[in-house]
Amino acid sequence: MDFQPLSPHHVEELKAVAADYRAMWNELVDPPYPCDFSGTKTDWDVLDFVDYEAGHHPRAERGAALIWGNVFAATGIFEWVTDGQELFLQSKEKVYPRCLICPVARVLEIDNSSSPQYGKFEWLTQETVARCLMQGFSDEEQQLLINLTSPEPLSSYVYWGRQAIDRIYPPQDRK
């Protein structure tokens, strides 16, 4: 697949989504913390808060996906690209290590799955970071990605992922 840099239309869409989220967040009576939707982990906290407490995302799942993806873009490891229709995050290194994330698909997957009940964006982040850690990024890049996560015991992808791996490959079978 051939990816191109974002068109001015796509750049404007990213800015408009952030503006819509800022407006929604500022309309809440006494939001629990400030957020300017500039690509920080706080953006993800807000996404989980909106998902579980506030009830609707501006621009639905696509809006949530673009806010979620923008935090990965802010690391400097990924950049936004397009295939002409959809937006993707592609590692800046195109040969090795290489990684592609489709935020819209990832958010659609998590929103239409049974688990987790809450903390979906943290779960999604942990799942994505785990996949990224297998791609061969430098130690520094891996640490940047790991720092994006905040695993909570018993309710995180890391916990349940370990449980799933143990079922696929039981500890007693490992040598």
**pLDDT tens digit string along 97-125?**
889 999 999 999 999 998 888 889 998 99
Q: Going by C-beta distance under 8 Å and a sequence separation of 6 or more, which residues neighbour residue 97?
A: 91, 135, 136, 137
Three-class HEC string of 78-98: EEEEECCCCEEEEECCCCCCC
The residue with greater pLDDT, 1 or 41, is 41
CA–CA separation, 28 vs 149, rounded Å? 26
pTM: 0.90
Minimum mean pLDDT range among 22-31, 118-127, 149-158: 149-158
Cα 79 to its chain centre, rounded Å, is: 13
Name every residue whose Cβ is closer than 8 Å to that of residue 66 and which is 6 or more positions away in sequence. 13, 14, 17, 59, 87, 103, 104
Label residue 20 by pLDDT band (50, 70, 90). very high
